[in-house]
Amino acid sequence: MSTPIRVGVVGMNYWGPNLARNLARLASCDLAWCCDLSEELLARHRSAHPGTAFTTRYDDLLEDDGLDAVVIATSVPTHAPLARAALSAGKHAFVEKPLALTGAEARELAALADERELVLMVDHLLVYHPGVQAMKALVDGGALGRIYYLYGNRVNLGIIRPDENALWSLGPHDISVMLWLVGERPTEVSASGESYVQPGVEDVVFGRMRFPSGVLGHLHLSWLDPHKMRRMTVIGSDKMVVFDDMETERKVTVYDKGPIPRTETYGEYIQVRSGDISIPKIPGTEPLRIVCEEFVSAVAERRRPAADGRAGAVVVEVLEAMSQSLRSAGSPVALDAGAPA
Ligand SMILES: NC(=O)c1ccc[n+]([C@@H]2O[C@H](COP(=O)([O-])OP(=O)(O)OC[C@H]3O[C@@H](n4cnc5c(N)ncnc54)[C@H](O)[C@@H]3O)[C@@H](O)[C@H]2O)c1
């Protein structure tokens, strides 16, 4: 077996420990470091990782010549500076979503990784979810026919963040999945929202993306809602599919429903077809484990993961353009043509 990839996790509050736990379980990975500015947080996790070094100094990771990669699970404004420092020190980097606060910063990180021939991966967790992978296989295999539109519902009465609105906190999940399913970069986006609980921090956002092929994407993001929904629906000309992450045994449902093309026989009426409903078996593997495996194997094989720096940059560009639209009462914002999603 090849030598395990040595990885350090930075940011050990809420999400970082989940990454540390998954990385520590991989035979192909050695969790060499855990880092946080808080001694108290580090103390909480020491016993779970007895062979791991703990530090409050990020530079300890960067100065460790034997360390291959850094996993960044810190607060969002620190993602870009910490990722830049890691790549500049010759370390592969895994960065929590969103990759950066601006498209320019995110593109700069993607370019730096390319220039240094290092792996840069973003935690677009849902792209690696077995249910979303099943949806992608249906879309790419043509089972749904032509894709007309898709929409995501990510709502809850949940954690109300003071420093990040619902768009930036929840949106990266659905935006990354939509870009990946459609395989195109949107040309125009818009978003409307309101801040009901805290001034200036939108708790509910409705976003829209228009793709060059005519596909329309819609997002409903909120942490101020009685329902808990984690759902994505794709409407095709032949079939429709729903991914519902709140379901345990019915993560993906395929509906053989759709319009029948108009024929002379039926005059002016358009017929609809309502056939079987099927539920494919979806493996119950924890998506974060798959994400960690993918990062470690991308580093070992020096290959580009699907959720690479460029994919991360397009998501940030969409978030940035939607934020611009939010500030201008939902006016459409054009996205420059660039690298495909
Ligand atoms: N992929 C997902 O589903 C998912 C879910 C939750 C959170 N996240 C992401 O994970 C990240 C972390 O989330 P959280 O809720 O744990 O954040 P948090 O703000 O609660 O914790 C961040 C931690 O990083 C530490 N930190 C900040 N700067 C540091 C530095 N320079 N050196 C060392 N430590 C530093 C802080 O001390 C803090 O303990 C965020 O980017 C968030 O968007 C992703």
Q: How many domains does the structure of the chain reveal?
A: 2
Atom of ligand 1 nearest to the CA of 164: 43
What digits encode the pLDDT tens for the residues 194-228? 999 999 999 999 999 999 999 999 999 999 999 99
Question: 263 and 132 in one domain?
Answer: yes
Q: Which of 201, 233, 236, 210 is nearest to 334 (CA)?
A: 210
Q: Which residues of the chain register pLDDT less than 50?
A: 339-341
Checking 241-249 for CB contacts under 8 A at 24+ apart, the result is: 241/135, 241/138, 241/144, 243/129, 243/131, 243/132, 243/134, 243/135, 245/126, 245/129, 245/131, 249/279
CATH of the domain at 283: 3.30.360.10
Q: Which of 14, 19, 64 is nearest to 296 (CA)?
A: 19
pLDDT on residue 40: 97
Question: 109 and 143 in one domain?
Answer: no
Atom of ligand 1 nearest to the CA of 79: 41
pLDDT on residue 160: 78
pLDDT on residue 1: 61
- Look up residue 106 and give its two tokens: 């995110």
Question: 154 and 42 in one domain?
Answer: no
Q: Which of 177, 151, 156, 176 is nearest to 166 (CA)?
A: 156
pLDDT on residue 288: 98
The C-alpha R_g of the chain, in whole angstroms, comes to: 21
pLDDT on residue 258: 86
pLDDT on residue 337: 63
Q: Which residues have C-beta atoms less than 6 Å from ligand 1?
A: 10-16, 35-38, 41, 58, 73-76, 78, 82, 96-97, 123, 125
pTM attached to this predicted model? 0.95
What is the CA(14)–ligand 1 centre distance, in A?
7
Which residue segment(s) compose the domain that 48 sits in? 5-125+288-308
CA 219 to chain centre: 14
Question: 250 and 114 in one domain?
Answer: no
pLDDT on residue 308: 98
**Looking at the domain assignment, is residue 339 inside a domain?**
no
Best of 36, 59, 165 to mutate for ligand 1, by most ligand atoms within 8 A of CB? Answer: 36
Segment holding 133, helix H or strand E: helix 130-140
Question: 274 and 239 in one domain?
Answer: yes
**Looking at the domain assignment, is residue 258 inside a domain?**
yes
Residues 6+ apart with CB under 8 A from 81: none
In terms of DSSP bridges, do strands 69-72 and 92-95 run parallel, antiparallel, or are they unpaired?
parallel
- Percent over 90 (pLDDT), the chain: 89
What is the CA(285)–ligand 1 centre distance, in A?
24
pLDDT on residue 263: 67
